[in-house]
Amino acid sequence: MDITLRVNGTTRSGSPEARKTLADFLRDDLNLTGTHLGCEHGVCGACTVILDGRAVRSCLMLAVQAAGSEVTTIEGLATDAGLGPLQQAMWDSHSFQCGFCTPGFVMQATAFLSAHPDADEQEIREALSGNICRCTGYQSIIDGVLLAARRNTEHASER
Amino acid sequence: MAEILAERYTGASIRRSEDPRILTGAGRYVDDIKLPGMLHAAFVRSPLAHARVLSVDASAARALPGVVAVFTGAELEAMTVPGPDALMALLSWTGPTPEFSLLATDKVRFAGDPVAVVVAESRYLAEDGCELVEVEYDELPPVTNASFALDPGSPPLFENLGDNIARPHSRNEFGDVAATFDSADRVTDVHIDVHRHQNVPMEGRGCVATYDADLGLMTVHAATQSVHVTKIAIAMRLGMEQDKVRVLAGDIGGSFGLKIGASREELAVAAASRAVGRPVKWVEDRSENLTASGQAREESFDVRAAVSDDGDLLGLDVKMVVDTGSYPAMGAMVPETVEAMFPGPYKLAAFGFESTAVTTNKACYVAYRGPWASETFVRERVLDLIARDLGLDPLEIRLRNAAPRTNPPAFMITGRPLVGVTTRESLQRLAQIVDFPSFRRRQADARARGRYLGVGVATFIEAAPGPRSPEGASGPLGTESMRLRLEEDGIVALFTGQMPHGQSHQTTLAQIAADEFGVPFEQVRVVVGDSDIVPFGLTGGSRSATMTGGVALHGARQLKAKVLEVASHLMEASAQDLLISDGQVLVRGDPASAIGLGEIARRAAVGDVGAGVDANLEVQASFDGGEGGWSGGTHCAIVDVDVETGLVRVERYVAVEDCGALINPAVVEGQIRGGIAQGIGAVLLERSAYDQDGNCQSATFMDYLLPTACDVPRIEIEHLETVPLDADVNFRGVGEGGMIVAPPTLVNAIEDALSPFGVRIYEQHLPPARVLELIAAAGPAQ
What are the sequence ranges of the domains in chain A? 3-76, 85-158
pLDDT in tens, A12-55: 999 999 999 999 999 999 999 999 999 999 999 999 999 999 99
Same domain, B221 and B278: yes
Question: Would you say residue B86 has pLDDT above 80?
Answer: no
Q: How many helices (H) and strands (E) does chain A have?
A: 5, 5
Average pLDDT taken over every residue of chain B:
95
Q: Are B421 and B461 in contact (CB under 8 A)?
A: yes
In the chain, the amino acid numbered B563 is: V
b/e per residue, B546-569, with b = 16+ CB within 10 A? bbbbbbbbbbbbebbebbbbbbbb
* DSSP state at residue B403: P
Same domain, B580 and B497: yes
Alpha-carbon distance B351 to B342, whole Å?
9
Closest alpha carbon to B258 in B194, B330, B175: B330
Three-state DSSP at B436 gives helix
Whether A91 has its CB under 8 Å from any CB of chain B: the answer is yes
Confidence at residue B471, expressed as pLDDT on a 0 to 100 scale = 67
Whether A92 has its CB under 8 Å from any CB of chain B: the answer is yes
- Give the best residue of A21, A98, A108, A112 to mutate against chain B (max B CB count within 10 A): A98
For residue B285, the distance in angstroms to the closest alpha carbon of chain A comes to 7
Strand order in the sheet with B67-72: B67-72, B114-120, B39-45, B280-283, B206-212, B217-222, B245-248
Chain A positions touching B502 (Cβ under 8 A) are 97-99, 135
Same domain, B489 and B466: no
Q: What average pLDDT does range B499-514 have in this prediction?
A: 98
Question: Would you say residue B260 has pLDDT above 70?
Answer: yes
Assess whether the region A3-76 and the region A85-158 belong to the same CATH fold.
no
Alpha-carbon distance B120 to B637, whole Å?
51
Question: Would you say residue B284 has pLDDT above 60?
Answer: yes
* DSSP state at residue B53: E
Q: How many helices (H) and strands (E) does chain B have?
A: 21, 26
Q: Which of A32, A130, A138 sits opposite B712 (nearest CB)?
A: A138
Question: Would you say residue B399 has pLDDT above 80?
Answer: yes
Q: How confident is the model at residue A136 (pLDDT cuts 50, 70, 90)?
A: very high
- Give the best residue of B202, B255, B712, B734 to mutate against chain A (max A CB count within 10 A): B202
Q: Which of B27, B503, B709 sits opposite A125 (nearest CB)?
A: B709
Alpha-carbon distance B2 to B588, whole Å?
9
Q: What average pLDDT does range B587-594 have in this prediction?
A: 94
At residue B71, φ and ψ (nearest 5 deg) are: -120, 120
Which residue of chain B is at minimal alpha-carbon distance from A34?
B25
Q: Which of A102, A128, A136 sits opposite B670 (nearest CB)?
A: A136
Cis peptide before B408 (omega within 30 of 0): yes
pLDDT in tens, B728-754: 999 999 999 999 999 999 999 999 999
pLDDT in tens, B521-570: 999 999 999 999 999 999 998 899 999 999 999 999 999 999 999 999 99
Pairing relation of β-strands B280-283 and B39-45? parallel
DSSP string, A65-79: GGTT-EEE-GGGS-B
**What's the fold here for domain A3-76?**
Ubiquitin-like (UB roll) (3.10.20)
Closest alpha carbon to B400 in B513, B341, B314, B485: B314
Same domain, B630 and B684: yes
Same domain, B128 and B247: yes
Higher pLDDT, B471 or B234: B234
- Domain A85-158 CATH (choose: 3.40.50.2000, 1.10.150.120, 1.10.3720.10, 3.40.50.620): 1.10.150.120
Q: How confident is the model at residue B644 (pLDDT cuts 50, 70, 90)?
A: very high
Same domain, B581 and B728: no
Pairing relation of β-strands A48-51 and A10-14? unpaired
Confidence at residue B1, expressed as pLDDT on a 0 to 100 scale = 34
For residue B92, the distance in angstroms to the closest alpha carbon of chain A comes to 31
Please report the residues numbered 53 through 72 in chain A whose beta carbons come closer than 8 angstroms to any beta carbon of chain B: none
pLDDT in tens, B693-727: 999 999 999 999 999 999 999 999 999 988 678 88
Share of chain A above pLDDT 90, in %: 92
Q: What average pLDDT does range B429-443 have in this prediction?
A: 98
Q: Are B337 and B540 in contact (CB under 8 A)?
A: no
Q: How confident is the model at residue B6 (pLDDT cuts 50, 70, 90)?
A: very low
Q: What is the ipTM of this complex?
A: 0.97
Domain that holds residue B506: 19-26+479-623
At residue A78, φ and ψ (nearest 5 deg) are: -70, 150
For residue B151, the Cα-to-chain-centroid distance in whole angstroms is 32
Three-state DSSP at B778 gives helix
Same domain, B734 and B646: yes
What are the residues facing B649 on neighbouring strands?
B640
Q: Are A61 and A21 in contact (CB under 8 A)?
A: yes
Please report the residues numbered 93 through 132 in chain A whose beta carbons come closer than 8 angstroms to any beta carbon of chain B: 94, 96-103, 106, 124-126, 128-132
Question: Would you say residue B60 has pLDDT above 70?
Answer: yes
